[in-house]
C-alpha cells in the first residue's frame, strides 16, 4: 500500500490545514484506537505527550476524542520530550504512545508520532494498517465501552528521575557551568532541572514558550544563539535541543559547534574502548559525513548507513542488535538507555565524558576533520516530480560521474516537507559547488 498520510516520522503538516486539522486528527485517533483495540476488550490505554505549540491543544483534544470513541483510555502527559513518550509508553504499560510535535519546524506546523507498546516507533507496516482503517469505515465503541481520559500530573517528574538513572549517583557535574537552550519547546522544564539536580550551574535560554516561539531563533537549528551565550558567560559548554528534545547539538567552550556526527564519533570510540559498542558498529544515515566513516574505519569500527530518519536508524539497530546510532542533525540513539533519539540523555552522556576526562569540551568535539559538504534544498509544488524530469536526471548522472572516486552525491525528497535535498561531499570544494549548482539550476528551470 502506498502511504499518503504518513511520512518519514508520522503525520506532519501545517496546523489547521490537511492533514493537521482537528477533524483529521480525530479520525487518526479513532483509527489508531481501533488498530490497537482489535479484540474489543476494555482496559486498553494510550499516553499522549506534546510540545509547546499553540495547535497542540487542538490536536490533543481531537486525538483524545477519536481514541476514546473507539474505547481507548487516554493518559495525558502534557508538554514532555518525545523520548519521554517512548519511555512512559513502556513504563505505564500502555498499548500506544503518541507525541504531538513537528520537531524542529516552526510553530505553524505540527505532527503526530506513534510509539508501540515496546516504546519504539511504529513500523511502516503498522502505519499502513492504520492508514487503511482511516480510509474505511471506523467501528466505534458501544456507549458503555467509550474510553476515559486522565491527566498524569507527574509525567515530567517520572522522566526526570529516569534520565538521572542513566548516570552514576552523586553530583557528577559539580563545578561545571553549562548553557542549555531548550528551543522554547518540550524540554523547557525537564532539561534545566535534570542538569541542576546533577550539580551543574545552569544558564537557561529558550525556556519561555508562548505557543508561537518554539524553535524561533533558538535551539538546535540556531546553535549560534547558544554559542554566543557560552562565550558571554564563560561556560564550559552549551547544549542545544530542538522543539521536542530528541536532537542535540553541542557547543564547546570556544563557541564552536559540534553536530551529531562528531558526538557519535566520540561515543563510538569510547564505547569501543570500554567494549560496550556492540559488534563495533555505529548506525547512521546516508547524510552522515564521509569523515565519520573514515574515522571509524581507522579504528577498526564500521559505519552502517540507512535512509534518512531516526526511525530507520532504530529499525536497523534492532535488526542488527546494535546499540549506538543517530543522525548528523543531532538525533543520538542509545538503545541501552532509550528507544528513540534523546537529546537530554545524549547531553548527559557527553557531560559525563567531559567530567571524567577533565579535558575541555573542544578536545572532545573534534574527533575528525569533516569532508567538505554542501547541502541545498529546493521547494517544489505538490504534484511535481522534479526527479523524473529528463533534464534533471541527466544533470544528476553528470554530477555522479564528476564525483566518482572523489566524493559522494545524494539526492532525495524530504519526508516531512515539499523539498528536494541535494547534498555533495568532496575535498575539491570548487567541483562540489559546481555539481550541486548545476543540479539545482536544472531543477529550478523545470519548476519555474
What would the pLDDT profile of 95-121 be if each residue is shown by its tens digit?
A: 999 999 999 999 999 999 999 999 999
Residue 99 CB burial class (10 angstroms; 0-12, 13-18, ≥19): buried
Catalytic residues: 103
* CA separation for the pair 48, 56 (Å, rounded): 11
SS (H, E, C) 186-235: CCCCHHHHHHHHCCCEEEEECCCCCCCCCCCCCCCCCHHHHHHHHHHHCC
* CA separation for the pair 342, 335 (Å, rounded): 10
Is the per-residue pLDDT at 3 higher than 60? no
Predicted pLDDT at 256: 98
- Domain formed by 373-447, architecture: 2-Layer Sandwich (3.30)
* CA separation for the pair 81, 190 (Å, rounded): 9
- Mean pLDDT on 171-188: 95
Confidence category of residue 255, pLDDT binned at 50, 70, 90: very high
Closest among 79, 120, 69, 81 to 97, alpha carbons compared? 120
Domain definitions of the chain by residue range: 11-155, 165-257, 258-343+357-363, 373-447
Predicted pLDDT at 41: 66
The response to whether 244 counts as a known ligand-binding position is yes
The alpha-helical segments, DSSP class H, found in 2-93 are: 22-36, 55-69, 82-91
Is the per-residue pLDDT at 37 higher than 90? no
Q: Do 373-447 and 11-155 have the same topology in CATH?
A: no
* CA separation for the pair 80, 160 (Å, rounded): 10
| CA-to-CA separations, 366 to 2, 349, 358, 444, in angstroms, rounded | 42, 16, 16, 36
165-257 CATH fold: Alpha-D-Glucose-1,6-Bisphosphate; Chain A, domain 3 (3.40.120)
Per DSSP bridges, beta strands 248-251 and 257-258 are: antiparallel
- Please give the class, per CATH, of domain 258-343+357-363: alpha beta
Is the per-residue pLDDT at 330 higher than 60? yes
11-155 CATH fold: Alpha-D-Glucose-1,6-Bisphosphate; Chain A, domain 3 (3.40.120)
- Mean pLDDT on 156-181: 94
* CA separation for the pair 329, 288 (Å, rounded): 9
Residue located via cell numbers 537557561:
204
User: What is the value of pTM for the model shown?
Assistant: 0.91
Question: Is there a contact between 189 and 165 (Cβ–Cβ < 8 Å)?
Answer: no
Q: Express each pLDDT in 191-237 by its tens digit.
A: 999 999 999 999 999 999 999 999 999 999 999 999 999 999 999 99
The response to whether 181 counts as a known ligand-binding position is no
Amino acid at each position: 500500500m502506498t502511504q499518503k498520510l504518513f511520512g518519514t516520522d508520522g503525520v506532519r503538516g501545517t496546523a489547521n490545514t490537511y492533514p493537521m486539522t482537528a477533524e483529521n486528527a480525530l479520525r487518526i485517533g479513532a483509527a489508531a484506537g481501533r488498530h490497537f483495540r482489535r479484540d474489543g476488550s476494555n482496559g486498553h490505554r494510550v499516553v499522549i505527550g506534546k510540545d509547546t505549540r499553540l495547535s497542540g491543544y487542538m490536536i490533543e483534544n481531537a486525538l483524545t476524542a477519536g481514541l476514546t470513541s473507539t474505547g481507548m483510555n487516554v493518559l495525558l502527559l502534557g508538554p514532555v520530550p518525545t523520548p519521554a513518550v517512548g519511555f512512559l509508553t513502556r513504563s505505564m504499560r500502555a498499548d500506544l504512545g503518541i507525541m504531538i510535535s513537528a520537531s524542529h519546524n516552526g510553530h505553524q506546523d505540527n505532527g503526530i508520532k506513534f510509539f508501540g507498546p515496546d516504546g519504539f516507533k511504529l513500523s511502516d507496516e503498522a502505519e499502513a494498517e492504520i492508514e487503511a482503517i482511516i480510509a474505511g469505515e471506523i467501528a466505534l465503541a458501544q456507549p458503555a465501552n467509550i474510553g476515559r481520559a486522565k491527566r498524569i500530573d507527574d509525567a515530567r517528574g517520572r522522566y526526570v528521575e529516569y534520565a538521572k538513572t542513566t548516570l552514576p549517583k552523586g553530583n557528577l557535574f559539580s563545578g561545571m557551568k553549562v548553557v542549555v537552550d531548550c528551543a522554547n519547546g518540550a524540554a523547557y522544564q525537564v532539561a534545566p532541572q535534570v542538569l541542576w539536580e546533577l550539580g551543574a550551574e545552569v544558564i537557561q535560554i529558550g525556556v519561555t514558550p508562548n505557543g508561537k516561539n518554539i524553535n524561533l531563533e533558538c535551539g538546535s537549528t540556531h546553535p549560534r544563539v547558544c554559542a554566543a551565550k557560552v562565550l558571554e558567560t564563560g561556560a564550559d559548554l552549551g547544549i542545544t535541543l530542538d522543539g521536542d528534545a530528541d536532537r542535540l547539538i553541542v557547543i564547546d567552550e570556544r563557541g564552536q559547534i559540534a553536530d551529531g556526527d562528531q558526538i557519535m564519533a566520540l561515543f563510538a570510540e569510547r564505547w569501543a574502548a570500554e567494549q560496550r559498542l556492540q559488534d563495533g558498529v555505529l548506525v547512521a544515515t546516508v547524510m552522515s559525513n564521509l569523515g565519520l566513516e573514515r574515522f571509524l574505519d581507522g579504528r577498526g569500527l564500521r559505519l552502517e548507513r540507512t535512509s534518512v530518519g531516526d526511525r530507520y536508524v532504530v529499525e536497523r539497530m534492532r535488526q542488527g542488535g546494535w546499540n549506538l546510532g543517530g543522525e548528523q542533525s543531532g538525533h543520538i540513539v542509545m538503545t541501552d538507555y532509550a528507544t528513540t533519539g534523546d537529546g537530554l540523555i545524549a547531553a548527559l552522556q557527553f557531560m559525563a565524558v567531559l567530567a571524567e576526562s577533565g579535558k575541555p569540551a573542544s578536545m572532545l568535539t573534534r574527533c575528525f576533520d569533516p569532508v567538505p559538504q554542501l547541502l541545498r534544498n529546493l521547494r517544489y509544488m505538490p504534484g511535481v516530480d522534479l526527479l523524473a524530469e529528463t533534464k534533471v536526471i541527466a544533470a544528476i548522472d553528470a554530477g555522479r560521474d564528476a564525483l566518482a572516486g572523489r566524493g559522494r552525491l545524494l539526492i532525495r525528497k524530504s519526508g516531512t516537507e515539499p523539498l528536494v535535498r541535494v547534498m555533495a561531499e568532496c575535498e575539491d570544494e570548487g567541483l562540489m559547488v559546481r555539481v550541486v549548482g548545476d543540479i539545482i539550476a536544472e531543477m529550478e528551470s523545470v519548476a519555474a
